[in-house]
Amino acid sequence: MFRTTTSSVLASSTRMLRQPLMAPSTSATTFMARYKNAAAASTTTRMFSISSANNKSAPSTTTPRHPRVLVTGSLGQLGSGLVKELRRMYGSENVVASDIRKASDEFMATGPFVYADVMNYSMLERIVVDWRIDWVVHYSALLSAVAEKNPTLALSVNINGFQNMLELAKVHRLRLYSPSTIGAFGPSTPKDNTPDLTIMRPNTIYGITKLHNELMGEYYREKFGVDFRSARYPGILSADTPPGGGTTDYAVDIFHHAIRHGHYDCFLSKDTRLPMMYLSDCIKGTVDHLTYPTPLPQTVYNLAAVSFTPEELANEIKKHLPEFTIAYPDPARPDFRQAIANSWPASLDDSMARKDFGWKEEYGLENMVKLMLDKIQAQVEAEKKAVHSDDPSTAAMAA
């Protein structure tokens, strides 16, 4: 599933922020000045129109500008990738990253970053006002496996945090994008080519919270006119950040183990088929959906690229690493994540996303596997060089 900063959420639990944000003069204003010389945004990106008057009969004084976007959970796998892409499109100063843990110096150097506890409404509202936010991408959530171990915390973060965002969107007329998941379906959902609209009775706390959010988003759209948008993400593969506690994480772990150890102990059975997608495809689909200039016919869409089993993934890896081996759980003693995976679709029908906003993936199984192996191999080689250069005895011998 999509990645977020699970360890930080667990560490903070339901902690509320006790210190105020910096005053606008030293926070938003300072950051805006700091990044005013950021690279010019792409001329092909969609502009955001701000009108000086609500009176439709008044002369038009509309001035196009880029939207200002707040991304919660921005230090996770998806958040960090989306922030990078949005800053490329709209300029660093127009994309405010947020999370509840400390960002690296490298991340801080790329644009504005603020602490944001999604369970603290007043703090979120101050960020929206200080930074003049137009759109919010809400990634903060506990994922499937972690949520099952911490249901009370999952309810608080996944539902209360989302509700805060909905209220902010209503009050401040924000566009709100908050992804859902294949976990929002359930055991009674048709398994193959699952459509957007079907039976949805999830039996995991993660799925229940995400289905709740889908329905509340639709309600706020119909009742209050909130521009709410969502897509059900499949499992996401990326070599750039570590897994964040999802059931589909095996499809990332397996590459690290294959290169570093030559063996992987999979926690799912070899024939568990699940929908998957490479990170850059997910970001592209998210951006296309988020930036579509008008509300779409549906509030929630399926997004899909490819479906495969652990055995099929392992066989593809073996084409590049013939010595790689994999082991599967004893069927008599399945991992708890097997039951979660069994309740999810094996494949998705995303034809409406393709029709309504032009969704199309780039990566299939073969080129995704090659790219993952190449990236992780490069990471391992860089780590070895770093260790080599930090070892005094090795440096002395080289001298």
Active site residues: 206
- Vertex 360: Cα angle to 358 and 365 (nearest 5): 170
Give, to the nearest 10 degrees, the angle between helix 279-290 and helix 77-90: 50
In the three-class reduction of DSSP (H, G, I as helix; E, B as strand; rest coil), residue 197 is classed as coil
Identify the residue whose tokens are 């309504």: 356
SS3 assignment, position 326:
strand
How many Cα atoms within 13 Å fall on the side-chain side of residue 47?
8
Nearest-angstrom CA–CA distance, 305 and 347? 9
Q: Give first-to-last CA distance, the chain, whole Å.
A: 48
Query: Closest Cα partner for 344 from 196, 191, 135?
Result: 191
Cβ contact 121:19 at 8 Å? no
Longest Cα–Cα distance in the chain: 80
C-alpha–C-alpha distance, residues 146 and 182, integer Å: 16
Q: Do 101 and 8 meet the contact criterion of CB atoms below 8 Å apart?
A: yes
> Residue 313: which H helix or E strand, with range?
helix 310-318
**In the structure encoding, which two tokens stand for residue 333, read together?**
């003693």
Torsion angle (degrees, nearest 10) of CA 304, 308, 313, 314: 160
Are the beta carbons of 1 and 246 closer than 8 angstroms? yes
Look-up of token digits 């048709």? 190
Alpha carbon distances (Å) from 39 to 42, 67, 89, 257: 9, 16, 10, 38
- For residues 258-297, b (16+ Cβ closer than 10 Å) or e, as one string? bbeeeebebbbbeebbbbbbbbbbbbbbbbbbbbeeeeee
